Amino acid sequence: MDDFAVYIKELRKLNIGWWNGSETKMVTILQAAGKDEARLALIKAVGDTCRECRAWQKRGNLTQPSMSLPGKFNEEGETDLFFHKSFIDFHIIDRAIRLRDGCEIPNKETRTLLNAYMNCWVQRDGAFKVLYTDGESGLVASKEAQDEMKRLGTELRPRAKGQHAQLAESRQSMLRHVMHLTEEELKRHNHTIPFTRLYGEDLFVVNAFSFYNGVSPYNAHTRRQPAFLPDLENINHEPEGVPDGNREARIREAAIAAITQSTAVSKTNRALKARILLMERDSSWEI
């Protein structure tokens, strides 16, 4: 018992000396040092009882079942601000086909956010019918924003306090990862590009290389492949070789159906894995 207490104490010292190192890193180092499994199993308890470790520990993925399933482009969208280093970015995504767009913005004022919505989305694809936001004050608390959204035909739906635009935020982690990889590649070649270009190129990357049931948001929106990728199958279905538009329409229909099916399957699996509390009810019936 004394040895156990001494080992826990030493592990706490190591945890502090390694700048509150994570459980995984501590296990890796001590395992390489030849410590046995019984002692390695104590590391988790040390991390779980460390105040600083608990304060900065990343939360697990939130499993939140939902029944919302948009099936048409531009019906529902989500917007959220994306912060990268010292830059503030407007980020918007369609909930049906997962297409996203965005731009750098200088501040979070109402007029700035409205201009970003107009320039990033409305001028090319029209206004959303419903646009979800996580409660950004420049949109939610502004009468000017409410009036402008109403004029455009967009119903602005803010999330409840403490909630977030989950689809937009979850896709931001992918976007941030791609941006870090791009920056590292540029650094290796001793090359720099403006942030606006970096953001635009990486938005294209996540649109063209995020696949749902084999199709990307880029396919569903443009009805074609990017120039550097192989063309979609059945490229010469017209008997005379003259495009009549039917092929592009079928590509879009098939792409949207595939993405919708992928989303439905994901929502079903998420609901099955969620913790559901069932209330016990009396089985007797009164007639």
Q: Report helix, strand or coil for 61.
A: coil
**Cα 239 to the chain's mean position, in Å?**
42
Q: Is 63 helix (H, G, I), strand (E, B) or coil?
A: coil
Work out the angle between the directed axes of helices 23-32 and 2-17 (0-180°, nearest 10): 110
Taking phi over 0 as left and psi of -120 to 50 as alpha, with beta for the rest, 149 belongs to alpha
Give 184's contacts (C-beta < 8 A, 6+ positions apart).
none
What is the per-residue pLDDT for 227?
Answer: 79
The pairing of strands 130-133 and 76-84 is: parallel
pLDDT for the residue 119: 94
pLDDT tens for 129-138 read 999 988 788 8
Q: Which of 204, 59, 73 is nearest to 126 (CA)?
A: 73
Rounded CA-CA distance 168/94 in Å is 9
Report angle CA 184, 82, 102 to the nearest 5 degrees.
90
What six digits make up the tokens of 266? 């994901």
Looking at domain 76-164, its CATH superfamily turns out to be Ribonuclease H-like superfamily/Ribonuclease H (3.30.420.10)
3-state DSSP assignment of residue 222: helix
pLDDT of residue 226: 82
**pLDDT digits over 36-60, tens only?**
888 888 888 887 887 767 665 655 5
Which ranges constitute the DSSP H helices of the chain?
2-17, 23-32, 37-40, 43-48, 51-56, 110-117, 123-125, 137-140, 143-152, 166-188, 195-209, 217-222, 246-273
Report the C-alpha gap between 78 and 130 in whole angstroms: 8
Q: In what order do the strands lie in the sheet with 130-133?
A: 100-105, 87-94, 76-84, 130-133, 155-158
Listed as ranges, residues in the chain with pLDDT below 50 are 1, 61, 63, 235-236, 242, 277-287
CA-based end-to-end distance of the chain: 65
Residue 265 has a pLDDT of 65
- Where are the chain's structural domains? 2-55, 76-164, 170-264
Please name the amino acid found at residue 223. R
pLDDT for residue 47: 79
